[in-house]
Amino acid sequence: MKLCTVFTGGTISCSEQDGVLSPDSGNGGLLLRMARQAGLEAAFETTQPYIVLSENLSAAHLMRLRDCIREQLTKGFDGIIVTHGTDTLPFAAAYLDLTLGGCGVPVVLVSANYPLRDARSNGLANFMAAADVIRAGESGVFVTYQNTGEAFVTVHRGSEVLPHLPYEDALFSLFQTPFGKVEHGVFRKDPRRTAGEARTVCNGDLSGTVLLVRPYVGITYPDVPRGTKAVLLEGWHSGTLPTASEALRDFCRLAGDNNVPVYLTGCTQGFAYESKQAYAALGIRVLPPMSPVAAYMRLWMG
């Protein structure tokens, strides 16, 4: 098996010095040595388009990563493994799934909850599971991640990963329907997943600004500058918004006056609360079910 490993930084690359964790480019070699010692038989080639803590991820980083992977896709690899930080992993995974999901070669993102030298780290388990997914011949962009306390590694579609909960490092898929799992080195697809799932592939050029607004009680809405590409409202878990609020009405009116489309994510069929009946009058366009991160990335890509 011929694999390309793309190193980008994050906790999986970090070393500790004087109590501070910082990316260390030397940990790429450490990860590959650990994988070989764990029994992974593969020919590796490596590349590193950048090295950052993932909380510092930018549009420029994402487009550089996309271009790097596109170049590797021409070299006959059986699969590509991307090491990444956990904080912004859902954003990078959604972006790559939306831009490379139809490439025909498995691209798997792996991260770690602790640095590799920490006995609590799931970094090696995630990496080994990525190789198992590639060996199984799956096509698309995935994330492999072992939640604390679980004996298996969950396999997520890149555009379906939900953001971490506060203070937690566990990862989950949209609607609690992961793509599959790896246990004892064997990948098994979740029986709820259909065969030949179609993927929408976008160009991936990130420009302009998308305004993401999450609800909270007593919310103060931001300004909507002209030239904003879109507004994305994230609804409460039931897909509702405070439509009785004059503040929301003013916000939507301002967006309309500035020719900025307003979208809502998180709203599904059913539970037809009266608050939802106001969406059309407010100019709020309801998106089909998808991860809020994927919705944001789609709008950012236009």
pLDDT at 124 over 90: yes
Burial of 15 (0-12, 13-18, 19+ CB in 10 A): middle
Instruction: Indicate whether 205 belongs to any domain.
Output: no
Q: Are residues 168 and 251 in the same domain?
A: no
Residue-wise pLDDT for 16-72, tens only, equals 888 899 998 888 999 999 999 999 999 999 999 999 999 999 999 999 999 999 999
Residue 21 lies in a domain: yes
157 pLDDT band, cuts 50/70/90, is very high
Asked if pLDDT for residue 300 goes beyond 80, the answer is yes
Band of the pLDDT at 270, cuts 50, 70, 90?
Answer: confident
Q: Say yes or no: 278 and 184 in one domain.
A: no
- Residues 232/267, Cβ–Cβ less than 8 Å: no
152 lies in the same domain as 23: yes
| Per-residue confidence band for 200, with pLDDT thresholds at 50, 70 and 90 | low
Asked if the structure places residue 164 within a domain, the reply is: yes
- Under DSSP, the state recorded for 287 is P
Which CATH number belongs to the domain containing residue 150 in this structure?
3.40.50.1170
What pLDDT digit, counting tens, does each position of 71-93 carry? 999 999 999 999 999 999 999 99
Residue 203, domain member (yes or no): no
Report the first-to-last Cα separation within the chain, whole angstroms: 37
Residue 260, domain member (yes or no)? yes
Answer with the one of 189, 223, 247 that is the final residue of a domain. 189
Are 166 and 26 found together in one domain? Answer: yes
What is the residue range of 280's domain?
A: 210-300
Q: Answer yes or no: do 174 and 267 share one domain.
A: no
Rounded Cα distance between 8 and 203, Å, is: 21
Among 189, 218, 253, give the residue marking a domain's end: 189
- pLDDT band (50, 70, 90) for residue 102: confident
pLDDT(196) > 80: no
In 113-229, which ranges are E strands? 141-145, 153-157, 180-183, 186-189, 210-213
Residue 78's pLDDT is what?
A: 97
Confidence of residue 131 (pLDDT cuts 50, 70, 90): very high
DSSP class of residue 12 equals G
Kindly tell me the sign of the dihedral angle through the C-alpha atoms of 174, 177, 179, 183. Answer: positive
Q: Which region, left, alpha or beta, applies to residue 175 given φ > 0 means left and ψ of -120 to 50 means alpha? A: left
Q: How many domains does the chain have?
A: 2
165/167 Cα distance (integer angstroms): 6
Please say which residue of 125, 157, 189 terminates a domain.
Answer: 189
150, exposed or middle or buried, with CB in 10 Å at 0-12, 13-18, 19+? middle
Q: Within this chain, do residues 72 and 109 fall inside the same structural domain, yes or no?
A: yes
Q: Are 148 and 279 part of one and the same domain?
A: no
Q: What is the mean pLDDT of residues 135-143?
A: 94
In this structure, the answer to whether residues 221 and 169 fall within a common structural domain is no
| Nearest residue to 69 (alpha-carbon basis) of 173, 11, 140, 146 | 140
Q: Which pLDDT tens digit goes with each residue over 202-218?
A: 888 999 999 999 999 99
CA–CA separation, 298 and 98 (whole Å): 8
In the prediction, which pLDDT does 101 show?
86
In a domain, 158, yes or no: yes
Classify residue 196: in a domain, yes or no.
no
Residue 201 included in any domain: no
Same domain? 35 vs 117: yes
What was the pLDDT predicted at 198? 56
Residue 195 has pLDDT above 80, yes or no: no
Do residues 36 and 183 share a domain? yes
Give the residue from 118, 168, 112 showing the smallest Cα distance to 143: 112
Same domain, 175 and 236: no
Q: Where are the beta strands (DSSP E) in the chain?
A: 2-7, 14-17, 20-23, 43-47, 79-83, 107-110, 141-145, 153-157, 180-183, 186-189, 210-213, 230-234, 262-265, 284-286
**Does residue 199 carry a pLDDT above 70?**
no
What per-residue confidence (pLDDT) applies to 286?
96
Contact present, 85 and 115 (Cβ < 8 Å): no
Same domain, yes or no: 64 and 105: yes
Per the prediction, the chain carries an average pLDDT of 94
Amino acid sitting at position 193: R
| Interacting residues of 151 by C-beta distance below 8 A, sequence separation 6+ | 183
Query: What's the predicted TM-score (pTM) here?
Result: 0.94
Q: How many angstroms from the chain centroid is the CA of residue 12?
A: 16
Question: Residue 290 pLDDT more than 60?
Answer: yes
